Structure 1
Amino acid sequence: MSPGRFITLEGGEGAGKSTQLRALAAALRARAIDVVETREPGGSEGAEAIRALLLTGRADRWSPRAEALLFAAARADHIEKTIRPALKRGAWVLSDRFLDSSRAYQGQGELTDADIMTLHRIGSAGYLPDRTLLLTLPEEEATGRAKARDGDVSDRIGGRASDFHRAVANAFTRFARDETDRVHAVDASGPAEVVTVRLLEAIEDLLP
């Protein structure tokens, strides 16, 4: 049995993660690979319950520390209940967001990247994906895509100010620069099918 692989798709609002995850899953299934599609926050019964708490309500519903703890708790359940069992049977797991989103979104301001990594070590034993695909887009294009997708309605995190999302994008860029073995930046501009080909090329070395 070929080993399972854990692949995460990351990026800011409007980068096309959800669309590309579905397309990448279809491409892998066409190669007779068993694929599990999942997301964060969420992906397991407990984590989905926490997702509802995190993404609804007023912007100030949770303090930065409480928010980071909730994300870490959801991730621990996601890994235990969904990701590890799928990998154990040889499936590939594709997740729309994972740890790097917590690092980029919660690891700024009151909390640091080191704080988020400490929570991940405690909650999930420091577990990391085999490959993280970072979808990159110019800010203006990403904002336009997010606006077209959400209109004037967004969740309590996606609706934060542009300077916050700019800091998130900068954090993702730093991860790709500093963690090249795991994090691969992929240009998300152009036709969706072309982006999918780029993603497949970025995991070619992992394919059976």
Structure 2
Amino acid sequence: MRTRDVNKENSIREKAIEMIVKEGLDGFSMQKLAKAAAVSPATLYIYYKDRDDLITQIATEISNRLMESSLKGMHPKMSFADGMALQWKNRMEFFFKHPLDIEFIEQIRYTPTYDSIKKSIRQNFGDVLGKFVHNAINRGELTPLPFEVYWAIAFAPLYQLIKFHNQGETPASQHFTISDEIVDQTLQLVLKALRP
């Protein structure tokens, strides 16, 4: 049995992310990846069982890093405003530092592959986020809402600002760059919308 080479594995992973972001999932195959990564197809199977295993492993790793980064410095007893500000800051840093990783996750977010990843995220990070939200509700800092409503109000505005920034424009402006002032203004409106 051949041994794992960490550098080679990282190179394969990076090439897979790049290919999936550029070409999508439909045209992605282990054969194409082997050729693009300049390795034999057999080498890929040292690291991954098959195409689905490769995609799942990469997506799980990225999702876990995103959540770890998002919760860096978080404590369930933080005030809701401070915890949200920290999560927004952490998420923005990750999105700007790892744009290909984020685009990769977007490619698979609505596929059956992502279901197991959501379970992993819930198991690994649901406790911290759940306690943070419940503490904020108990202190009267947050309106009790269905999770989906809370998440849409709490984070969709940030993600849309990042999207506008990455595109460099909005429907109203041909030149858009995210700024601390815009982020803070948006966050304050989000906090206001979520308060009882």
What range describes the TM-score normalised by the shorter chain of this pair?
0.3 to 0.5
Higher relative contact order (CA 8 A, sep 6+): 1
Going by fraction, where is strand more abundant, 1 or 2? 1
Q: TM-score, normalised by structure 1?
A: 0.33
Q: Which structure would you say has the larger Rg?
A: 2
